[in-house]
Amino acid sequence: MVYNNDMDTKKIDFTDVIITNIAAVNTIFKKAGDRHNRQDRPNPALSMKFDGASKYYCNGKEYVSDQNHFVFIGKETNYSYFCEKEGKCIMLEFNGFSDAYNGEIISVEIPNTVSQELTKLFTMLENLWLLKERNYIIKCRSIFYKILDKVMSAKSPEYTPSKYMHVIQPAIDHMNFHIDDTDISNEYLAAICGVSTVYFRKLFFKIFGISPMKHLKDLRIEKAKELLIGDVSGMAQVAEMTGFSSIYAFSKVFKAETGIPPSKYSELEFKKHKS
């Protein structure tokens, strides 16, 4: 049975993957019928097919590798490989702190638009690696994270074709950059997008799966969490910087969303980082 991790999309999360060193960037050509076995892989790797098709076999499961499947191979993984159709791929070997997906293979199905973007990124990375010009390591690391971001964005519920996203982008930008604005409303956001309020709310929900105001509330709570562990001068300032009309309103919403009052959150975070 072919096993693609798309059926487990919520578990695909590369957030904790931290790269400390790029070990190699290799272009690999395979002919149909080529196969090999690998035991206890020393480094995790990213792989992107430019053409052709292959299968990985790991832990009794079968994983697709082609132009529409990005592959992540964890450290210490035992697997076999079989090339079904001749082609090439670029494989990035790296070292990092994270043990994410050790002993596993992740095959993520991606749409054609994302495949094209990843192909460009892998090509840029390969060129930087081969030329080894000034600051190439930093640039390679930057592209590495862009690759993971593209894959995760494509598989998240928030991913949507740009033909829809550009309509509400002004509202997204306003919420991100004016989170302290207490007067943000559906009507105002719809107006800066140049659409009706009804259409704005419908399109926003289609893209994000939540209402605009719920999205704004989530942004404010996440920002409040950051401020609560920073150098702000008190709850009043946190409330003001996150668009709440009063400390009472802020505390009420924060507790409803997190289960604990903001003062308790600060205390718990301080203890966590101190231990």
Sign of CA dihedral 237, 239, 243, 246: negative
Q: How many of the other CB atoms lie within 10 Å of CB of 208?
A: 18
140-160: burial string, b at 16+ Cβ within 10 Å, e else: bbebbeebbebbbebbeeeee
Beta bridge partners of 55: 64, 82
Query: Mean pLDDT in each 10-residue stretch from start to end of the chain (275 residues)?
Result: 43 79 91 93 93 95 95 94 95 81 91 91 94 91 92 66 78 93 95 95 87 94 88 86 94 93 84 63
**Distance between CA 182 and CA 175 in Å, rounded?**
11
Structure tokens belonging to residue 35:
């196969």
Options 3.10.129.10, 3.20.20.140, 2.60.40.420, 1.10.10.60; which CATH number does 162-274 get? Answer: 1.10.10.60
Q: Which two tokens stand for residue 157?
A: 């519920």
Residue 205: its H or E element: helix 197-208
Amino acid present at 116: Q
**269, 272, 274, 275 alpha-carbon torsion, rounded to 10°:** 170
**Cα distances (Å, whole numbers) of residue 247 to 91, 215, 229, 239, 243:** 52, 21, 17, 6, 11
Indicate where the chain has its CATH 1.10.10.60 domain(s): 162-274
Contact yes or no for 78/11 (Cβ under 8 A): no
- Please give the CATH number for the structural domain made up of 5-155: 2.60.120.280
**Strand order across the beta sheet in which 19-30 lies:** 19-30, 87-96, 45-49, 69-73, 105-109
Q: Which helix (H) or strand (E) holds 258?
A: helix 247-258
Provide CB contacts within 8 A for 246, sequence distance 6+.
Answer: 239
Tell me what pLDDT residue 206 has: 84
CATH 2.60.120.280 residue spans of the chain? 5-155
pLDDT of residue 14: 83
Residue 130 CA to residue 42 CA, distance in Å, equals: 22
Beta strands, E only, the chain: 19-30, 35-38, 45-49, 53-58, 61-65, 69-73, 79-85, 87-96, 105-109
Rg of the chain over all Cα atoms, to the nearest angstrom: 23
Complete DSSP assignment for 145-204: HHHHHHHHHHHSTT---HHHHHHHHHHHHHHHH-TT-TT--HHHHHHHHTS-HHHHHHHH
Predicted local confidence at residue 7, as pLDDT: 37
CB 64 within 8 A of CB 55: yes
Tokens of 85: 């159709």
